[in-house]
Structure 1
Amino acid sequence: MAARGQFSSRLGFLMAAAGSAVGLGNIWGFPTQTASNGGAAFVLVYLALAFLLAYPALMAELTIGRAKRANVVDALGSVSTGKTAHYVGATVGLAGVLTASLILSFYAILAGWMMSHMIEPIATLAGATETGTWLTTQGPGRDIIFTILFSILTMLIIVGGVRDGIEKWSTRLMPSLITILIALIIYVLMQPGAMDGLKLYLVPDFSGITNPDLLLSAMGQAFFSLSLGVGTMLIYGSYVSEKENLPRLGASLTLIDTGIAFTAGLLIIPAMFVAQEYGTTIYSEAGELAAGPGLIFAVLPSVFDGMGATGSFVAIAFFLLMSIAALTSSISMLEVPVSFVSEHFNIERKIATFATGTAILAFSILIALNFDTMFGFVADLATVYLEPLIGLAFCIFAGWLWNRNEAMKAIAAGHPDGESAWFVKVWPWYVKVVCPALIITMLFPTVQKLFS
């Protein structure tokens, strides 16, 4: 078997891991969840959970990954020497592989929408209005074609491995994403109605802050946006050098992720109210978000149309941004099953990539053909329920089944203060007691509702 890859630098890891975290979960999912759950109250809960829960859980994945230097199945299977724990760990790892594959299956469809909407202004400017209409009209034909294109692009990057694939493209795409995002925010905030959206986004209504649905959505969003609970960060951790300060890397990644999620909200939420100025219905009479998962496709075209000739170029820039965000995340999700298949079964990486990528693509096509019944179900199953549950399992493995001394030694590697650092001392207890308690507390009302 070929030697495992490794990130060449701290910047390479941060760009790759941030690329995984900063995707449609931030730029599509976070603003949609914010708009659906009362605005600023959701933002506050999300930010709190990102640091009180998601960051320690992230450290569990990164630490196990770097210590075990293996794919998610073999890494969790080797956390404990006990035979039962080995099989349970491998099962949890397989659940992570399945969840990553489920997320990528619906994610590729969303990414295909971004690509088709990016091409539409070009087709319209060229006079191909019928093609432009087809590109922006949801249907199995369009969805399948662009899902295939996006999936192939993802597979081609993953074939390159860690340095020549994931790291190389992440360090190129992430700066482009941030630049386009900031430029669009500046423009939208100067439009009529933007300040109403900014008020919703930044001024909290604390009356709904303890709503169980809001808490569960915020936790799911924190896990989804940081790519937790599927093994992505465990895999990326396995490619990090022993010389790196892991707690600092994890904190930097959490700050980048939440920062870009918050920044994306500064674009999408004000843009909703700008679109409302142009006559687009944002909320139903019942106060629910009218567009649902298609929020940005309902909101932004009317904003772009109101810009006149400039709007076409802004639309291209925005959906290019969304396509880049989708790609930086999809390559990390595909890496989870690819690393498992290639390492566990000793299969050449190129073969493993196209075999697993094609299998996931086939399921994506099935979803596209049964969109109304499958898309929302698969998305909720994977991101709202499976990710937090598997994240809980990662915390249990790191806190309860992994030898405490070994865990402290693993997380302290590369830290200038070693095992005497306060974070290194506190983290094993925190991930053992506090993280599982928080996850169970927030999942309990929903589980209770399901069985009542």
Structure 2
Amino acid sequence: MMKSERAKFGSKLGIILATAGSAVGLGNIWRFPYMTGENGGAAFILIYIICVLFLGMPCMISEFIIGRNAAANTARSYRKLSGGTPWMVVGYLGVLTGFLITGYYLVVSGWCLEYMYASIVGHLHGDPGFFKTYFETFETDPLKPVLWALAFVAVTHFVVARGVRGGIEKASKMLMPALFILLLVIVVSSCLLPGASAGISFLFNPDFSRVDGDVFLGALGQSFYSLSIGMGCICTYASYFGRDTDMPKSAVQIGVIDSIVAVLAGLMIFPAAFSVGVNPDSGPSLLFITLPNVFQQAFGGIPAVGYVVSLAFYALLSLAALTSLISLHEVSTAFLEEELKTTRRRAAIIVTVACGIMATFCSLSLGKYDCLQLFGTPLFSIFDFFTGQILLPVGGFLTCLFVGWYLPRKLVYDEFTNRGTLHSAVFGFYMFSVRYVCPVCIILIFLHQFGII
């Protein structure tokens, strides 16, 4: 029997939108605006963009090189290029990280669906205390959050099971433009509010007096995490790249899209928040407690506008979550499909069931189930901490060392330049970044988050 040819993305636009969709997620919508507000506004944005261009991009290109050259799932790619040496563990670590992230990310994604539904039926109106009670009651409910999470993984399964071109690429070409349209609708609505200029000024007038080492490390961490580095997504998608894909150019385009979404998220949140005198919080409280209150106050005078903005916002969150979950699901699906030598649909079913079970436990751990907690910490929070604070930095660090110090320089050069000379002039800078700058920065981020430096 002839071996079937490995699936490829069908167009350059599909590559950009699918990979950008992997990078653009809930972190762009809530974490970036909050960190921007806490770290000097425009000053933080400038530092963040520099970090994306000179540190995040080299790491992304490194995963591109591994995935496209090996043309296999993340674990097999590292195993193939490492020749079976201990370096292959990095690939398995990437698959594990992506799988574990899917478990708790599905829970938050389900929350987005609940709030989109609540916006449709008109439940999101009341005083600030109402929104806090509404979220806390829903979050600890033993049934509703689980059902929404399972609904989300079912939609994700439908896309991934249809394959690379018919599922992932096709969905990305619809979801990413829709995401941008919704984002622009809310940005325009927010910026037209009375007093919105104060929020715009806050976002774009740099306050360099607040810039210190913590701000630089915060920008570094946000740039690495927002580009989906270290969780297998980039490497897996790169395995579907054609030989004509310009990887440095693609990395720049994806980084630009990711940064634009993050800045637009700031324009969506700060003008509306300043308009009603509310300071944005961080985490779930921003998305599910503060912003519903902000939208109600800001657009309460025109109910139809408030309804549209609230619905558009939670539809936006759901789309951002879906594009990221598709890539996370694909990491595990591609791994099982190739390692178990089974069909894509069967592999997708296994991943969907496993992730659904994991999401169920993570969701229930936020309720009164002590058996799903460790030292009083919910399983949900443990997954979040272990993947975000440990596995992602370790995976990114080891990937840089693998590409910068282990892989043959000629292999890296050929992949980077597409065996041409177009990017040979900046190859030296790329190698310097991957060998020295990126590993050192990742170590600094890792130590800083534990208060060691």
TM-score (norm 1): 0.88
1:261 aligns with 2:266: no
User: 2:76 maps to what in 1?
Assistant: 74
In the alignment, is the contact (CA less than 8 A) between 1:193 and 1:270 conserved in 2?
A: yes
On the 8 A contact 2:59/2:396 being kept in 1, the answer is: yes
Structure 2 counterparts to residues 43-442 of structure 1, below 5 A: 43-81=45-83, 86-124=84-122, 137-140=138-141, 141-212=143-214, 214-276=215-277, 282=279, 289=281, 292-306=283-297, 307=299, 308-310=302-304, 311-371=306-366, 373-413=378-418, 417-418=421-422, 421-442=424-445
CA distance in 1, matches of 2:379, 2:196: 34
CA contact (8 A) 1:180 1:317 kept: yes
Query: Which amino acid letter does the alignment assign opposite residue 192 of structure 2?
Result: M
Partner of 1:241, secondary structure, is coil
Matches of 2:244 and 2:309, distance apart in 1: 43
Distance 2:283 2:427 in 1: 42
- Give the conservation status (yes or no) of the 8 Å contact 2:413–2:419: no
User: What one-letter code is carried by the residue in structure 2 that aligns with 1:341?
Assistant: L
Matched letter for residue 439 of structure 2: P
21, 24, 37: which one aligns with 2:23? 21
Instruction: Give the direction of change, closer, same or farther, for the CA distance of 1:273–1:233 in structure 2 (3 Å limit).
Output: same
Check the 8 A contact 1:216/1:384 in 2, yes or no. Answer: no
Q: How far did residue 188 of structure 1 move?
A: 0.5
* 1:439 positional shift: 1.8
Bigger shift: residues 173-182 or 44-53: 44-53
Distance, in Å, in 1 between the alignment partners of 2:20 and 2:333 is 20
- Give, as a single letter, the amino acid of the residue that structure 2 aligns with 1:433: Y
> Are the counterparts in 1 of residues 389 and 446 from structure 2 also a CA contact under 8 Å?
no
> Partner letter of residue 411 of structure 1?
F
Q: d(CA) in 2 for partners of 1:32 and 1:354?
A: 37
Q: Number of matched residues?
A: 429
Name the CA distance, whole Å, in 2 between partners of 1:377 and 1:193.
40
Shift of 1:73: 0.7
> What SS does structure 2 have at the residue aligned with 1:334?
helix
Amino acid at match of 1:400: W
| Cα pair distance change 1:271/1:98, threshold 3 Å | farther
In structure 2, distance between residues paired with 1:364 and 1:249: 33
- Contact kept? 2:21, 2:323, Cα under 8 Å: yes
* Alignment check: 8 A CA contact 2:78 2:90 kept: yes
Q: Is the alpha carbon distance of 1:409 and 1:36 closer, same or farther for their aligned partners in structure 2, counting shifts above 3 Å? A: same
Is the 1:268–1:296 Cα contact (8 Å) retained in structure 2? no
Q: How big is the shift at 1:355?
A: 0.9
Give the letter for the 2:92 counterpart: L
Distance 2:134 2:211 in 1: 41
1:346 alignment partner, SS class: coil
CA-to-partner distance for each residue in 1:2-21, whole Å, 9 max, x for gaps?
A: 43210111001001011111
Offset at 1:373? 2.7
Give the distance between the partners of 2:349 and 2:419, measured in 1 at CA. Answer: 36
Shift of 1:381: 2.7
Residue pair 2:31, 2:283 contacting (<8 A) in 1 also? no
User: In 2, Cα distance between the equivalents of 1:58 and 1:320?
Assistant: 28
CA distance in 2 between partners of 1:253 and 1:365 (Å):
33
Deviation track 1:208-263 (CA, whole Å, cap 9, x = no partner) reads 42243x44433332122111111111111111110121111111111111111111
Q: Contact (CA 8 Å) 1:74, 1:93: kept in 2 or not?
A: yes
CA distance in 1, matches of 2:295, 2:443: 43
Distance 2:432 2:40 in 1: 34
Contact 1:68 1:75 (8 Å CA) reproduced = yes
Q: Please list the CA deviations of residues 16-41 of structure 1 after superposition, one character each: whole Å capped at 9, or x if unmatched.
A: 01111112121233223334445434
SS at match of 2:228: coil
Contact kept in structure 2, 1:242 and 1:414, CA below 8 Å: no
Specify every segment of 5 or more residues in structure 2 that has no aligned partner in the other structure, as ranges: 124-132, 367-376
Structure 2 vs 1, CA of residues 123 and 414 (structure 1 numbering), >3 Å: closer, same or farther? Answer: farther
In 1, Cα distance between equivalents of 2:326 and 2:441? 30
| CA deviation map 1:323-374 (0-9, x unaligned) | 1111111101111111111112212111111112221221211111112633
CA-atom RMSD, angstroms? 2.5
Q: Specify whether residues 379 and 217 from structure 1 end up closer, same or farther in structure 2 by C-alpha distance, changes over 3 A only.
A: farther
